[in-house]
A and B are shown apart, each in its own frame.
Chain A
Amino acid sequence: MANYFNTLPLREQLAELAKCRFMHTAEFADGVDALKGKKLVVIGCGAQGLNQGLNLRDSGLDVSYALRPEAIAQKRQSWKNATENGFTVGTYEELIPTADLVLNLTPDKQHSAVVTAVMPLMKKDACLSYSHGFNIVEEGMKIREDLTVIMVAPKCPGSEVRAEYVRGFGVPTLIAVHEDNDPKGEGLALAKAYAVGTGGHKAGVLMSSFIAEVKSDLMGEQTILCGMLQTGSILCFDKMVEEGIDAGYASRLIQYGWETVTEALKYGGVTNMLDRLSNPAKIKAFDLAEELKQIMRPLYNKHQDDIISGHFSKTMMEDWANDDKNLLQWRADTAETNFEKTPAGDVEISEQEFFDNGILMVAMVKAGVELAFETMTAAGIIAESAYYESLHETPLIANTIARKKLYEMNATISDTAEYGCYLYNHACVPLLADFMKCIKTDVIGKGLSLEDNGVDNARLIQVNAALRSHPVEAVGSVLRGYMADMKKIV
């Protein structure tokens, strides 16, 4: 199999990368009609598989689960999940040939094997759906010509996909049709009906392409989402301990700090996150972020270039083929970092204190979000995609660190994200060595100790204007606005 993206002419590559538009509610007027009376078979009964299935069934669709014979024979958790919820369960051989739509909700790494096993069993003219396009775009899987291939990807964890549906709402969802596999031109109608079935149309649907989804998703997860937070955690912790701050306090400040500061990011973008700081601290964070952006920009460019050229997925798949040697070694190394080994101390840190004593962390998030966004859009990815894959998802990873710290965070994110995080961290720690030498506890650990909070008017105006005029803020306020319109009334 060859990298699919690289087989396309530049003109088509650019057109595919730039695909992303926020769909209008009226486009979902047909509801689930396109899937009514059809047979939906889900492969994979983890949190996404189970919860999407529950929603689709509650929307009046016919859903069953195809599992491997071992999972059925040994009554594994996936079998229990499906049967306890009253779904029909069967083997691939039993169920796939009857399916009009096969929903592949297994982890990325299994896609090649799963799709290879499933494809010959699928009936003529059926539809295969993905929730992530790596297998198609990077691994270059060729799907039988008569089959329609679509992607429907709720941009939230499985448990939320269900919880929001039960409330009468949904989660933002990305849909796409694989242009090479849309023989009857019904891909979009099927993807829309699927999105309605999970409740996604109530929270907003982005129409994108397989390529835009993969290239932006990879970039976001390996730089700002996982890479930056991992690197920042290790650097900030070691610095605080070196400066004599209690290790338990430092550990807590970092473990829960990312979650707290990115919560502000989620609600009101980078601007709101910095607005939570005092004026002198805001200016400090702004200056640190500018310096960080200058140092890290070449690294972000390299990541994006390697993703676009396919170099990244090639090296990663080589490591997969080599029993994950690099990855597992790195995972073991992460477990040995001082931050990982120091439990969060039994001290109380107020919500505001996470900002006041974590100025450098705020600066790192700002620098990472903006760099990822800028690099993606410079590579031809449209702003909406870039926003979702950078700013929008950062709080999710921060939340994972708060609950699990780094080692488990890496073990739980996808293999592609973890491998990217590994590459990023290896390059970024030495890159920031000189920068970190000049860092003191005023920006990480203790906060500014100032007599008064006075600042120069002109400087503050300049900083506020720069914050508010960044392109990620423009697209962010529009997209958050759509969400809020739909979610919160009055």
Chain B
Amino acid sequence: MNAPTRLGPIQLTKATVNFDDRFTLSEIDWTITPDQHWVITGTNGAGKSALAAVLVGVGEITAGSVAGLPARVGLVSFEAQAELIAKELKKDDADIMDVISLGTPVHEMIFEHCQDHELAQALVEKFGLSKLLDRAFRKLSTGETRKVMLIRALANKPDMLILDEPFDGLDADTLAMLQAHLASIVDSVPMVMVLNRFDEMPDFITHIAYLDKDTSDPKNPNQGRLKLTVDKSDQAAFNELYQLLHLKSTDLTVPGTDPSNKLPALDPSQPLVRLKDATIKYGDTVIVNKLNWTIERGQHWQLSGPNGSGKTGVLSLITGDHPQCYTNDIFVFGFQRGKGESIWQIKQFIGYVSTALQWEYRVSTSCRNVIISGFHDSIGMYTKSSDNQKKIADQWLDLLGMKSRADQPFNKLSYGDQRLLLIARAMVKHPPLLILDEPCLGLDDMNRQLVLALIGKICQGSETTVLYVNHHAEDRILGIERYLKLEKND
């Protein structure tokens, strides 16, 4: 394999980089030589993704210098993924043409502008996307979208690979496959990864950059600093960093709920959810085939299955977000679906977090309002909130360490911080059914522990039944004893 000759060292010297006035990285000193592979890690909101983005030329350099940026970068990140989806939505002319548009097909996303067709083709097969090539990109599941992004980046003959949380959202098989592939190309392309899970760090990583929030200026909380860089071969420094990342979370109390937001009583003799022969299909493609599933009150479930096995589909049959909930035999919260109930009568019993929800939560509202919107099952706020609801929201913000940001706009937060708020939104009304679809995506180690502890607490209580979707075996939750594994329908 040839070492890349096009790339010299990348040099950031006392660089201060401003991102649309919503975030600043201050005085970064950092050198990357072509033989190094870095991991960027740190707390949520410290600017990990921002630092990676600097390498792609994003942000305005207001002081210091940035030199030697690579010409062609392969980039995978949630932000880039969300941007691509938003672009697809914008391309959707349904609104003006009065026709339903299908969007760009997967093969076009992958092979148009592709530098290495052979590699792309091989990866398509390895990732199991061959059957999805004609599907519209925006109809893919979260994990499948991720795979497309990865193939695009890898097959672009990049001078440098920037992978922001590349492993999140991938099932175990795909994860192993990707790690093996990356290990096989370490000599040909330098990599920079943003990883929230320290334990996921591949062996070939040589250096670690650790970022933390810069709290020196209380008026401007949105600042990050590069706190330290560690050569992985330096064992002492590495251990110190490891400890730093495993700080203990404080004792937890889940904030109370709003007594004025009282739900209609449920019949205790009925299950919360009963799916009978539930089937989801698109055209002739069957995604879920005759699934029978009953969720009794107080039975906490963990749902798993490979990417594309229909996990999110099944959940949206329950929440009523899937149009085929009307063609299936579904009983939820005392309603047989399709008998004149409204979707809001169903949603009032559910708290919900998923990646899709985060994509849809594209409204400009404050962090506090995002939490309060959980009382109303809305995206954004369209009714006045009570003082008590505000008080409860502030308790949640305190718990998440985001008190100072109550009035800041939600859409300017980092992905991980947004995720934390949406989790609080789902929990705020202590719903009879709490659906957490891969809730820890994008969270750093500390916040992941916090969220898992919160879920554990909620499982111990009697009000809420938890339905938890996760790929990561280590994110097990005390109190969840029932497991449902979906298989892919081939």
Q: Mark B51-68, 1 if CB is under 8 A from A, else 0.
A: 000000000000000000
User: CB within 8 A of B282: which of A47, A84, A399?
Assistant: A84
Instruction: Collect the chain A residues with CB atoms within 8 Å of residue B384's CB.
Output: 489
Which of B100, B283, B376, B381 neighbours the largest number of chain A CB atoms within 10 Å of its CB? B100
Tell me, rounded to whole Å, the shortest Cβ–Cβ distance linking A285 to chain B: 28
Which of B94, B283, B368 neighbours the largest number of chain A CB atoms within 10 Å of its CB? B94
CB of B324 closer than 8 Å to a CB of A: yes
CB of A66 closer than 8 Å to a CB of B: no
Contact between A159 and B95 (Cβ–Cβ < 8 Å)? yes
Chain A residue at minimum C-beta to C-beta distance from B323: A85
Which of A57, A81, A107 neighbours the largest number of chain B CB atoms within 10 Å of its CB? A57
Contact between A107 and B98 (Cβ–Cβ < 8 Å)? yes
* In the complex with contacts A54-B323, A57-B326, A77-B100 CB distance below 8 A: yes
User: CB within 8 A of B366: which of A85, A166, A396, A490?
Assistant: A490
Tell me, rounded to whole Å, the shortest Cβ–Cβ distance linking B259 to chain A: 21
**Among B149-157, B174-182, B340-348, which stretch is in contact with chain A?**
B340-348
User: CB within 8 A of A47: which of B100, B344, B345?
Assistant: B100
Chain A contacts with B in 130-171, Cβ cutoff 8 A: 156-160, 166-169
- Of all A-B residue pairs in the complex, the 7 with the closest CB atoms, nearest first, are A168-B378, A157-B95, A86-B327, A167-B379, A85-B323, A58-B343, A46-B98
Contact between B326 and A158 (Cβ–Cβ < 8 Å)? no
CB of A36 closer than 8 Å to a CB of B: yes
Contact between A157 and B381 (Cβ–Cβ < 8 Å)? no
Instruction: Collect the chain B residues with CB atoms within 8 Å of residue A81's CB.
Output: 100
Contact between A60 and B342 (Cβ–Cβ < 8 Å)? yes
Contact between A489 and B324 (Cβ–Cβ < 8 Å)? no
Besides A84-B283, A166-B321, 4 new A-B residue pairs in contact (Cβ under 8 A), listed by A number: A50-B100, A168-B382, A169-B380, A490-B366
CB of B296 closer than 8 Å to a CB of A: no
Contact between A47 and B99 (Cβ–Cβ < 8 Å)? yes
CB of B310 closer than 8 Å to a CB of A: no
Tell me, rounded to whole Å, the shortest Cβ–Cβ distance linking B240 to chain A: 44
Give complex CA distance A412, B16 in Å.
47
Tell me, rounded to whole Å, the shortest Cβ–Cβ distance linking A53 to chain B: 10
A interface, over-half SS: helix
Give complex CA distance A482, B360 in Å.
25
Chain A residue at minimum C-beta to C-beta distance from B326: A86
- Give the size of the chain A interface in residues (CB under 8 angstroms): 44
Where the two chains meet, the residues of B that have a C-beta atom closer than 8 Å to any C-beta of A are: 90, 92-100, 282-283, 320-321, 323-327, 340-345, 360, 363, 365-366, 368-369, 373, 376-385
CB of A311 closer than 8 Å to a CB of B: no
Give complex CA distance A160, B324 in Å.
21
Give complex CA distance A88, B383 in Å.
35
Tell me, rounded to whole Å, the shortest Cβ–Cβ distance linking B17 to chain A: 19
Tell me, rounded to whole Å, the shortest Cβ–Cβ distance linking A215 to chain B: 23
Give complex CA distance A357, B320 in Å.
49
Which of B324, B345, B379 neighbours the largest number of chain A CB atoms within 10 Å of its CB? B379
Contact between B382 and A60 (Cβ–Cβ < 8 Å)? no
* In the complex with contacts A37-B340, A158-B94, A46-B380 CB distance below 8 A: no
Where the two chains meet, the residues of A that have a C-beta atom closer than 8 Å to any C-beta of B are: 32, 36-37, 46-48, 50, 54, 57-62, 77, 80-81, 84-87, 107, 156-160, 166-169, 202, 396, 399-400, 403-404, 412-413, 486-490
Contact between B382 and A487 (Cβ–Cβ < 8 Å)? yes
Contact between B340 and A60 (Cβ–Cβ < 8 Å)? yes
Chain B residue at minimum C-beta to C-beta distance from A163: B360
Chain B residue at minimum C-beta to C-beta distance from A489: B381
Tell me, rounded to whole Å, the shortest Cβ–Cβ distance linking B400 to chain A: 19
Instruction: Collect the chain A residues with CB atoms within 8 Å of residue B282's CB.
Output: 84
Instruction: Collect the chain B residues with CB atoms within 8 Å of residue A54's CB.
Output: 323
Contact between B369 and A489 (Cβ–Cβ < 8 Å)? yes
Contact between A489 and B323 (Cβ–Cβ < 8 Å)? no
Instruction: Collect the chain B residues with CB atoms within 8 Å of residue A487's CB.
Output: 380, 382
User: CB within 8 A of A84: which of B99, B323, B341?
Assistant: B323
Chain B residue at minimum C-beta to C-beta distance from A45: B100
Contact between B380 and A47 (Cβ–Cβ < 8 Å)? no
Instruction: Collect the chain A residues with CB atoms within 8 Å of residue B94's CB.
Output: 47, 157-159
Instruction: Collect the chain B residues with CB atoms within 8 Å of residue A58's CB.
Output: 320, 342-343
Give complex CA distance A81, B381 in Å.
31
Instruction: Collect the chain A residues with CB atoms within 8 Å of residue B326's CB.
Output: 57, 86-87
Tell me, rounded to whole Å, the shortest Cβ–Cβ distance linking A6 to chain B: 30
User: CB within 8 A of A36: which of B340, B368, B377?
Assistant: B340
Contact between B377 and A168 (Cβ–Cβ < 8 Å)? yes
Give complex CA distance A59, B344 in Å.
8
Contact between B385 and A46 (Cβ–Cβ < 8 Å)? no
Contact between B340 and A167 (Cβ–Cβ < 8 Å)? no
* In the complex with contacts A157-B94, A158-B95, A486-B382, A168-B340 CB distance below 8 A: no
Chain A residue at minimum C-beta to C-beta distance from B89: A159
Contact between B95 and A47 (Cβ–Cβ < 8 Å)? yes
Tell me, rounded to whole Å, the shortest Cβ–Cβ distance linking B141 to chain A: 17
Contact between A490 and B95 (Cβ–Cβ < 8 Å)? no
Tell me, rounded to whole Å, the shortest Cβ–Cβ distance linking A64 to chain B: 11
Instruction: Collect the chain B residues with CB atoms within 8 Å of residue A62's CB.
Output: 340
Chain B residue at minimum C-beta to C-beta distance from A413: B96
Contact between A400 and B96 (Cβ–Cβ < 8 Å)? yes
Instruction: Collect the chain A residues with CB atoms within 8 Å of residue B323's CB.
Output: 54, 84-86
Instruction: Collect the chain B residues with CB atoms within 8 Å of residue A50's CB.
Output: 100
Tell me, rounded to whole Å, the shortest Cβ–Cβ distance linking B201 to chain A: 38
Contact between B385 and A167 (Cβ–Cβ < 8 Å)? no
Give complex CA distance A62, B373 in Å.
29
